[in-house]
Each structure stands twice: as C-alpha cells, then as structure tokens.
Amino acid sequence: MPLSEKEILQWLQETDEARIQELYDAADRVRREYVGDAVHFRGRIEVSNICSRQCGYCGIRASNDTLRRYRLTREEILVCVAQAVKLGYGTVVMQAGEDYGIEAPWMAEIIRTVKRETPLAVTLSLGERSDEELQTWRKAGADRYLLRFETSDPELYVSIHPPAPGQTPNNHRIEQLIRLRDMGYEIGSGVMVGIPGQTLRSLARDIALFRALNLDMLGVGPYLPHPETPLGSRSVRPLPPGEVQVSNAEEMTYRVVALTRMVCPEANIPSTTALATLNAAHGRELGLQRGANVIMPNLTPACYRPYYEIYPAKVCIGETSEQHFEKLRKRVEAMGRRVGTGPGGRTRRVSSP
C-alpha cells in the first residue's frame, strides 16, 4: 500500500529514533528491490552562473553583484564531456542559472555533438525556458530535464521565486514538467528541505506530488542559507498557529529522501551535494543508505567552481574531476555497492519484493 499524504506527514512528525530507523531500513530495501545496488554517476557541468531571476534563496540570483559571472565556451564544455567519457560516467548534466545568453541553437549544436560522438545520456537543468527551446533541445537529442518545483505551497513559492517579467505569479514549473514529459523527456524535480516558511504539512504535500507527477528523477537537499540573498539574511517569518517549520538539518533531509523512495520506488534519487556539504564525512553514504541511488560529481573546470555558488561552502571545489571521482568510487565500493555503467535511465524493478 503506498503511503498516503497523512501517513507521510506522520513520518515527518515522528520523533522516535527506532521508528525512524525502521523507515530508513524500509527505504533501503525498496531501493535495492526496485533499482538495485548500482550507484549511477552523473557528471555535472555548471555551464553558466549568469541568471536573470531573483530567487530569494539562491546565491547566483541576478542581483548578487558580489559574484564574478562566467559562461563556459563550447570547447570548455566539450572538454568536460570528454572527461565524463574517460571516467566512465553514463550521463552529463548541464546545469546553469536562467541564462538567456545560452541560446537554443548554440546549446542544440553542443547536444548534437555529444550525442554523435559519445554514448552519454544528456540531462539539461537550465531553468524555465520556452516550449520552443525545450523542443529544439529534445530534437537535438537531450534525454532528460531537471527542474525542481522547490515547494508545492503556492504562496511560499511566489514569495521565494518572484515571477519573471510578464509572468503571472504562479508555480510555472509544475506545468513545464508536464509539458517536458509530453515532449518525450525523462523528467526530474524535487524540493529544498527547510526553506524558511515551509511547514511539515506542505512538505508532506510536496512528497505526495512527487508520486502524482510520476517523476523519473527526484533530488532533495537541505536549504542552505546564502548571506547575499534576501532569505539568507532575513529572520524566519511567523507561521500560522499549529504549523511547524521544517528543519534544514541533515536528519530531516534523510527522512525526505527515504519517504521519496517509498512513494517513488523506481525513481533515480541522488544523494545530493547539499547533503554532503552539511556532513562531508558521511552525508553521501547516509543518503545512499536511506533511499538514494545516484551521485552527481562535479565536472566543472576547477577555476570556475567557486563561482557557481548557489549556497556557500559547497564541497569539492578544491579537487580535480579525477580526484573527486576516485574518492567517490572508493566510498561507494566500501559500502558494498558498485558504480553503475551505461546511461542509467529509469529502470523497472530488478526483482520481486
């Protein structure tokens, strides 16, 4: 029986450590049954930190003028792609701010080159873009699109994610995900855990929506305050009586990862960099033991990494891509898991429950 929204909420409210451990164990079992022991590595290329939006939580928002801005060249991107092939990754994820200097034909040509010259799956995470652009990239061969809806609470969403000029104040991301699915993309989404103003009730609704949208990939990570943002420097807003603010500590994120696995057993779920930032020693492993089956190592050229600062003190900014991969591979193998091969798209159950 799938968990109802009410049961999800009860799990989020649970305080008994032994019960929480039962949830983690159940999520680990479901992960093994449905997606197996392979941990898929997706090489993340942070293509640009230029952004036209004003998201209240994000350090690369347009009005942060303390940040040096960059956009990789086609050649720099293709060097990262070659690195992904060399390290044996099955997928590259091209992520950026909402940078309209990333023009559709330019990106389409890069996608075509990657698809022609490598066996890699291509995932895009370029924010809210027009249907025409998304179609162009799909036709060029892009396989997947990641777009977190961040929160299903309409009021909270609008307060942290102001509309673009000409847009109505709504969460357009949910509609865009549905259109992306119709275009033939595998779709990924997710939320931040512990945004100021996020209640346990609204987080339970987010997790129920993961299932309703039948998402192929789901990323959840803790909200990490950035001092150069309105949310990072503001005190927490009061909540209606009876509502409880979601904690952004790592424990709550593991719980959300585990519940996500329970409601979307076949999904690809990363143990996120934000989690590893909160707990550099064990965060990735604990995510992988509580429902996750994907890691997204950074392939961005080292000289640009400090500038893709969506939140402060991101891990792994001081390593080369090879060092980073080797370290992660050893950690995965030490857990008795193996590094996945091939593109690692959405899988069907590997054995009966």
Least CB distance to ligand SAH at residue 226 (A):
5
Stretch that binds ligand SAH, among 23-31, 92-100, 131-139, 282-290 (CB under 6 A): 92-100
Q: What is the spatial distance between Cα 230 and Cα 15, in angstroms, rounded to a whole number? A: 32
Q: Out of 224, 264, 294, 299, which residue is the one contacting ligand SAH (CB under 6 A)?
A: 224
By CB under 6 A, tell whether 196 contacts ligand SAH. no
Q: Out of 98, 153, 206, 216, which residue is the one contacting ligand SAH (CB under 6 A)?
A: 98
Q: Out of 192, 207, 269, 294, which residue is the one contacting ligand SAH (CB under 6 A)?
A: 192
By CB under 6 A, tell whether 97 contacts ligand SAH. yes
Tokens of 311: 């939140």
Q: Is the CB of residue 179 less than 8 Å from the CB of residue 173?
A: no
Q: Out of 56, 221, 270, 340, which residue is the one contacting ligand SAH (CB under 6 A)?
A: 221
Residues 6+ apart with CB under 8 A from 123: 42, 91, 92, 93, 94, 142, 143, 144, 145, 146, 188
Least CB distance to ligand SAH at residue 333 (A):
28
Q: What is the spatial distance between Cα 187 and Cα 123, in angstroms, rounded to a whole number? A: 9
Least CB distance to ligand SAH at residue 228 (A):
10
Q: Out of 110, 274, 278, 295, which residue is the one contacting ligand SAH (CB under 6 A)?
A: 274
Q: Of 125 and 152, which CB lies nearer to ligand SAH in the complex structure?
A: 125
Question: Measuring CA to CA, which residue among 217, 197, 193, 188 is closest to residue 206?
Answer: 193
Q: Is the CB of residue 50 less than 8 Å from the CB of residue 98?
A: no
Q: Is the CB of residue 46 less than 8 Å from the CB of residue 37?
A: no
Q: What is the spatial distance between Cα 136 and Cα 156, in angstroms, rounded to a whole number? A: 32
Site for ligand SAH in 127-166 (CB under 6 A): 127, 147-148, 150
Q: Of 101 and 342, which CB lies nearer to ligand SAH in the complex structure?
A: 101
By CB under 6 A, tell whether 257 contacts ligand SAH. no
Tokens of 7: 């049961």
Alpha helices for the chain (secondary structure H): 5-13, 17-35, 74-86, 104-117, 131-140, 154-160, 172-182, 200-212, 250-263, 273-278, 283-289, 321-334
Q: Out of 11, 89, 185, 311, which residue is the one contacting ligand SAH (CB under 6 A)?
A: 311
Residues 6+ apart with CB under 8 A from 67: 49, 59, 60, 228, 307, 309
Q: What is the spatial distance between Cα 163 and Cα 169, in angstroms, rounded to a whole number? A: 5
Residues 6+ apart with CB under 8 A from 57: 160, 192, 195, 223, 225, 226, 229, 231, 232
By CB under 6 A, tell whether 321 contacts ligand SAH. no
Give the SS3 label for residue 45: strand
Least CB distance to ligand SAH at residue 161 (A):
9
Q: Out of 89, 145, 210, 223, which residue is the one contacting ligand SAH (CB under 6 A)?
A: 223
By CB under 6 A, tell whether 226 contacts ligand SAH. yes
Site size for ligand SAH, by CB under 6 A? Answer: 18
Q: Out of 24, 34, 41, 57, which residue is the one contacting ligand SAH (CB under 6 A)?
A: 57
Q: Of 32 and 181, which CB lies nearer to ligand SAH in the complex structure?
A: 181
Q: Of 98 and 133, which CB lies nearer to ligand SAH in the complex structure?
A: 98
The residues binding ligand SAH (CB under 6 A) are 57-58, 95, 97-98, 125, 127, 147-148, 150, 192, 221, 223-224, 226, 274, 310-311
